[in-house]
Amino acid sequence: MMNWLQSSSDMAEQVRQYDWASTPLGPLEQWPDVLKTTVALCLASSFPQSIIWGPHLTTLYNDAFIPILGDKPFALGRPFSEVWHEVWADVSPIANAAFEGHATYIENFPLLIERGAGLEQAYFTFCYSPIRDPDGKVVGMLDTVTETTATVFLNRRLAVLDAVGSAVANATDAESIMSTTTRLLAEHLHVSNCAYADMDADEDGFTIRGNWAAPGSPSIVGRYSLASFGARAVQQLRAGEPLVVQDNRVEFPPEVAASYQALGALATVCFPLIKDGRLTALMAVHHKTARVWAPYDLALVGEVTERSWAHIERVRADAAVREGLAAFTELNATLEQRVHERTLALTQAEAALHQSQKLEAIGQLTGGVAHDFNNLLTIIRSSVDFLRQPGLSEERRQRYMSAVSDTVERASKLTSQLLAFARRQPLNPEVFDVGLRVKNIGEMLESVTGARIHVQVQLPERPCHVRVDASQFETALINIALNARDAMDGQGTLTLRVATVDTMPRIRGDEESRQPFVSIALADTGSGIPGETLERIFEPFFTTKAVGKGTGLGLSQVFGFAKQSGGNVDVASHPGQGTQFTLYLPEVAAQVISHEQSLQDPLPGQDITLRHILIVEDNLEVGRFANQILQDLGYQTTWATDAEQALALAGADALAFDGIFSDVVMPGMTGVAMAKVLRQRRPDLPVVLTSGYSEELAESGYEGFEFLPKPYSADQVARALAKAMS
């Protein structure tokens, strides 16, 4: 052990030379084996780690821990409370708990650490694990640190962008957009002012037409000269570069700094808007005290600026269209009544044709759904009729029961696909073998594309797995295949090719990604796509098909699915030679799936006869079946018909039951809201939610609860409960 320590690193040398004889632990040679092993693991770890010994003395920390210390280089051998005196009040409860023998942690803890030229705000999760001697006595603790700065800032940024997008989505004028945007941005960054301005045509002056000012800060609405803010501001902003000022008293001469201070600011961030090569607008945040702007601050201001101007361009374009329509209406008011009547008749005819086309599309969809469901219902009804026959053999009875079960599964899958088409179900990523899924899709496409289109499937020799929403994956491939079918005019060859690649290439300006990807290519022998059209095929609502023949959303769904799944989609086409779409998705390791257990046998270590489950279901027929299923599985059950009754039965501490099996859609309080209340009362309470369709789940996802879609089988109920209670 000592030889290993001596050759490990400079940190190991510090451990060897430290005056351990003066500490309660004693000389290094007398350390217990458990501590030697812990020291070895600490020094070898790529995660920041430290060891706290005896009376909270910092005994050791590895090289990865040094950046977190920042300006605390002499932590070794000093009390933890002395090294971290400014945060000791927050850290001491969990540190003391570790010394008492409990593994504890503190999540997303804020610290200022030295990076680059100065201090930066960072966030860390500290995990404290007790170290015991051979007799089980706690003699120290191991502190393992994980930096969560990127996650914290990402969640904050997404929250702000979501709030801005929601607030201005229905705005109809630029003033309300900027008023809302500046307020939300300033409140989040805790700055004194946030303002937007329009540049003069000569780019020498600008006018602030609206701003948000914190209480006690002056309004800065007015007209200003850009040159008064310094040559640096003029040069950077006209070049399209953001202006970042941490303290204008230090960075500018007094006469220039005075221009900033007239705004009540010492620190400033200003982002320009360049349009047609000209500086047209500015958006800036100001703070009354000097401030070091973090990269997060700059990135957020820049992104909010871009999105704000995009919304402003939208409402201005809408206003221009309305003004044009108004002028056109006024001009045509002088035309003869006969022309007006003919125009009105034509408009009515076009509206009637459009409505007829929509009804025809709905009718075709309804007819297809009815056709498929009637086929499924025919199988179920016929099987049930056969099961009613007296003297039926066991072999035939099992065959008909299997037919009913399989048909219900097919009906459930059809319903799920319809919901995915309507964008009414939450994303549910899962790990699956792309080759097997593409093979099944290829077999299905042979019946969809027609007999004159030959479908070829080429698969790799080894399995390749991705973790994406399987329903959206299938929808994306079908959308591409249907476009290929139309391009081939019903005759040709469609090739589906699956392969693994080490790098995703640069696509439409996006950087290449050097990691394993699975590529799914769909190549047709159709007419190809013209160059001027190829650049726009992924735009929402863009279509070259006749009115009523396409929505223009199919390839947009493919693009959105690929990007949301961490990949991309590329296209190559030559007129007269066909088109190839290539979908790239990140490759993942195969997911190990345990062998299913028999329904009659409880999970290892479980005696489900002692488990009491509260069933919450407002539909009486479904409730009776659910109650019977759980009782047949060996659970004790209590059945409530609404959430309010269930909460009363569960009690104030929710200890009356071992688990909850609840519907989502119910009169009054929903199952999701009820489950959240129960989790507040008892965080470890197992909850399984079930629903055929829920708008709440479609918008928010499963909220961290186990979910079982309807219709469900006894086997699925058993496994969902076992998973929730494991």
pLDDT tens sequence across 675-708: 999 999 999 999 999 987 766 666 666 677 888 8
Instruction: Select from 718, 700, 699, 720 the least CA-distant residue to 708.
Output: 720
| Residue 40 banded pLDDT, cuts 50, 70, 90 | low
Q: What is the pTM of this model?
A: 0.36
Strongest mean pLDDT among 68-72, 253-257, 383-387: 253-257
**Which amino acid is residue 134, in one-letter code?**
P
Question: Do residues 11 and 17 lie in contact, with contact meaning Cβ atoms separated by under 8 Å?
Answer: no
| Residue 350 banded pLDDT, cuts 50, 70, 90 | low
Question: Do residues 285 and 301 lie in contact, with contact meaning Cβ atoms separated by under 8 Å?
Answer: yes
Helices 295-332 + 174-189 axis angle, to 10: 170
| Whole-number pLDDT of residue 678 | 93
Averaged pLDDT of the chain: 77
- Greater confidence, 332 or 412? 412
Residue 350 host element (H or E) = helix 337-387
| Whole-number pLDDT of residue 721 | 92
pLDDT tens sequence across 580-603: 999 999 999 987 544 444 334 444
- For β-strands 205-213 and 193-199, DSSP reports them as antiparallel
| Whole-number pLDDT of residue 5 | 36
Q: Please, what sign has the CA dihedral across residues 262, 263, 266, 268?
A: negative
- Greater confidence, 299 or 421? 299
What is the pLDDT averaged over residues 490-509? 90
DSSP, collapsed to helix, strand or coil, labels residue 661 as: strand
Which segments of 499-553 does DSSP mark as H helices, in order? Answer: 531-534
| Whole-number pLDDT of residue 28 | 47
- Greater confidence, 637 or 185? 637
Is pLDDT at 39 greater than 60 in this prediction?
no
Residues forming a β-bridge with 142: 51, 129
What is the pLDDT averaged over residues 486-496? 87
What is the pLDDT averaged over residues 418-443? 73
| Whole-number pLDDT of residue 4 | 33
Backbone angles phi, psi at 427, to 5 degrees: -65, 135
Residues forming a β-bridge with 456: 495
Mention every residue, 6+ apart, whose C-beta is less than 8 A from residue 134: 32, 33, 34
What is the pLDDT averaged over residues 362-390? 66
Long-range pairs of 401-404 with CB within 8 A, sequence gap ≥ 24: 403/379, 404/379, 404/380
| Residue 612 banded pLDDT, cuts 50, 70, 90 | very high
**Which amino acid is residue 703, in one-letter code?**
E
C-alpha to C-alpha distance for 303 and 289, rounded to whole angstroms: 24
C-alpha to C-alpha distance for 394 and 400, rounded to whole angstroms: 10
| Residue 503 banded pLDDT, cuts 50, 70, 90 | very high
Identify the weakest region by mean pLDDT among 297-301, 444-448, 546-550, 551-555.
546-550
Q: What would the two tokens of residue 345 be?
A: 């008749």
- For β-strands 659-663 and 612-616, DSSP reports them as parallel
Question: Do residues 288 and 192 lie in contact, with contact meaning Cβ atoms separated by under 8 Å?
Answer: yes
**Which amino acid is residue 121, in one-letter code?**
Q
Task: Based on DSSP, count helices (H) and strands (E) in the chain, helices before strands.
Answer: 23, 23
C-alpha to C-alpha distance for 532 and 539, rounded to whole angstroms: 13
Question: Do residues 611 and 658 lie in contact, with contact meaning Cβ atoms separated by under 8 Å?
Answer: yes
Sheet of 687-691: strand order equals 636-640, 612-616, 659-663, 687-691, 706-709
- Greater confidence, 253 or 40? 253
| Whole-number pLDDT of residue 361 | 42
| Whole-number pLDDT of residue 677 | 94
pLDDT tens sequence across 454-472: 989 999 999 999 998 888 8
| Whole-number pLDDT of residue 365 | 45
* 257 Rama sector, left if φ>0, alpha if ψ -120 to 50, beta otherwise: alpha
**Which amino acid is residue 347, in one-letter code?**
T
| Whole-number pLDDT of residue 11 | 45
Is pLDDT at 605 greater than 50 in this prediction?
no
DSSP, collapsed to helix, strand or coil, labels residue 588 as: strand
Mention every residue, 6+ apart, whose C-beta is less than 8 A from residue 399: none
Cα dihedral angle (308, 310, 314, 315), rounded to 10 degrees?
A: 20
Is pLDDT at 156 greater than 60 in this prediction?
yes
DSSP, collapsed to helix, strand or coil, labels residue 689 as: strand
Long-range pairs of 652-657 with CB within 8 A, sequence gap ≥ 24: 652/681, 653/681, 653/682, 654/678, 654/681, 654/682, 654/685, 655/682, 656/612, 656/614, 657/612, 657/613, 657/614, 657/685
Compute the half-sphere exposure of residue 414: CA atoms within 13 Å on the CB side of its CA: 17
